[in-house]
């Protein structure tokens, strides 16, 4: 499972029914194959494709799920307009060497009539995204738990861009004794530093030009810390000043936190993670950087 394998192009079987995926993967598991799962909401970009490549290196079989999960959107968020581009996603997957299975279910296949299960992970869900989007992580937890269960994955791959999401999932794995290993892969960025995100498509040309300010603010704080500035209030003040100079930007939060618990730090005495959420025009973007 940990040895790196040469990548051979494969064309995925595209599956709509979770039970069919479960049957296919159970048969492969019985043959001793290891299963890698890459959960996505589609609109695949290089960030997603890096997860798929990593899965193909680490596991015998790779399943990619493409599902815009309604339970993790609140009313008034962008569930309806979130990009749904399955054909383009399959082409993008092919360009990355492919995957063995693509699960592309309907909402009714994931949440059939009478569905009534709720999963809540406490602690690490409370702040930041959890505060801005109070029902978000419950929706993430239930869909990811379903995907873990239906796939029986040995390893599941998530991007570091959604840092808090990865922390919530790792907490769920521990608390619920799930046997899946979570691999968190590095953020993939555009040439100008903007973290890749399916939501970048929402940006106007002008907003797109201003969006790299998130990464610039993270870099500013990182340089300051490396230069010996430990004062998180001052660091956040400097980040805020930099971002506020951008006309389209409105800060949701800036946090300098413990990398494991995501509790706010008063001063940077060891490892830390700097996280932020900023609206660029109407588009809410998140980004983060880990300070070792």
Tokens of 173: 């794995």
Residue 5 or 120 with smaller CB distance to a copy of itself: 120
Is 48 known to be catalytic?
yes
Give the whole-angstrom CA distance, residue 169 versus residue 28: 25
Here's the x/- map for a copy of itself, 50-89, by CB under 8 A: it reads as: ----------------------------------------
Give the whole-angstrom CA distance, residue 94 versus residue 96: 5
Candidate ranges 92-100, 110-118, 226-234, 269-277; the one touching a copy of itself (CB under 8 A)? 110-118
Q: Is 115 in the site for a copy of itself (CB under 8 A)?
A: yes
Q: C-beta of 116: minimal distance to a copy of itself in Å?
A: 3
Q: Which residues contact 101 (CB under 8 A, 6 or more apart)?
A: 12, 13, 14, 15, 21, 24, 25, 61, 62, 63, 64
Q: C-beta of 48: minimal distance to a copy of itself in Å?
A: 22
Catalytic position from the list 45, 48, 118, 120: 48
Residue 75 or 179 with smaller CB distance to a copy of itself: 179
Q: Are 171 and 124 in contact (CB under 8 A)?
A: yes
Give the whole-angstrom CA distance, residue 17 versus residue 169: 24
Residue count (the chain):
292
Q: Is 172 in the site for a copy of itself (CB under 8 A)?
A: yes
Q: C-beta of 212: minimal distance to a copy of itself in Å?
A: 36
Q: Are 47 and 187 in contact (CB under 8 A)?
A: yes
Instruction: List the one residue out of 278, 261, 46, 30 whose CA is nearest residue 168.
Output: 261
Which of 80, 118, 205, 292 binds a copy of itself (CB under 8 A)? It is: 118
Residue 76 or 114 with smaller CB distance to a copy of itself: 114
Which of 3, 8, 76, 117 binds a copy of itself (CB under 8 A)? It is: 117
254-283 residues in contact with a copy of itself (CB under 8 A) are: none
Give the whole-angstrom CA distance, residue 254 versus residue 61: 39
Q: Is 292 in the site for a copy of itself (CB under 8 A)?
A: no
Q: C-beta of 119: minimal distance to a copy of itself in Å?
A: 6
Q: Is 176 in the site for a copy of itself (CB under 8 A)?
A: yes
Give the whole-angstrom CA distance, residue 231 versus residue 42: 39
- What is the per-residue burial (b if ≥16 Cβ within 10 Å, else e) of 184-208? bbebbbbeeebbbbbbbebbeeebb
Q: Is 150 in the site for a copy of itself (CB under 8 A)?
A: yes
Q: Is 18 in the site for a copy of itself (CB under 8 A)?
A: yes
The residue ranges that bind a copy of itself (CB under 8 A) are 18, 22, 26, 30, 32, 114-123, 142, 145-147, 149-150, 152, 171-172, 175-179
Catalytic sites, residue numbers: 48
């Amino acid at each position: 499972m940990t040895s790196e394998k040469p990548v051979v192009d494969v064309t995925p079987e595209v599956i709509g029914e979770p039970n069919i995926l479960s049957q296919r993967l159970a048969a492969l598991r019985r043959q001793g194959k290891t299963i890698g799962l890459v959960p996505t909401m589609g609109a695949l970009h290089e960030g997603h494709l890096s997860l798929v490549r990593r899965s193909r290196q680490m596991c015998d079989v790779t399943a990619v799920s493409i599902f815009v999960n309604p339970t993790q959107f609140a009313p008034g968020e962008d569930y309806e307009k979130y990009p749904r581009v399955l054909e383009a996603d399959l082409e993008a997957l092919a360009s990355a060497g492919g995957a063995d299975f693509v699960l592309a279910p309907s909402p009714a296949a994931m949440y059939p009539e009478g569905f009534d299960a709720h999963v809540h992970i406490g602690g690490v869900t409370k702040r930041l995204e959890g505060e801005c989007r109070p029902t978000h992580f419950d929706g993430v937890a239930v869909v990811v738990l379903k995907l873990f269960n239906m796939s029986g994955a040995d390893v599941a791959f998530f991007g570091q861009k959604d840092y808090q999401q990865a922390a919530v999932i790792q907490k769920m794995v521990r608390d619920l004794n799930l046997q899946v290993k979570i691999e968190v892969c590095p953020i993939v960025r555009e040439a100008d530093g903007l973290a890749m995100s399916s939501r970048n498509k929402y940006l106007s040309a002008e907003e797109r030009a201003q969006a790299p300010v998130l990464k610039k603010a993270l870099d500013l704080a990182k340089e300051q810390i490396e230069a010996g500035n430990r004062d998180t209030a001052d660091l956040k003040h400097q980040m805020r000043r930099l971002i506020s100079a951008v006309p389209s930007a409105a800060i949701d939060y800036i946090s300098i936190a413990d990398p494991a618990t995501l509790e706010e730090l008063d001063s940077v005495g060891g490892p830390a993670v700097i996280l932020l959420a900023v609206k660029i025009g109407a588009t809410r973007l998140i980004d983060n950087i880990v300070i070792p």
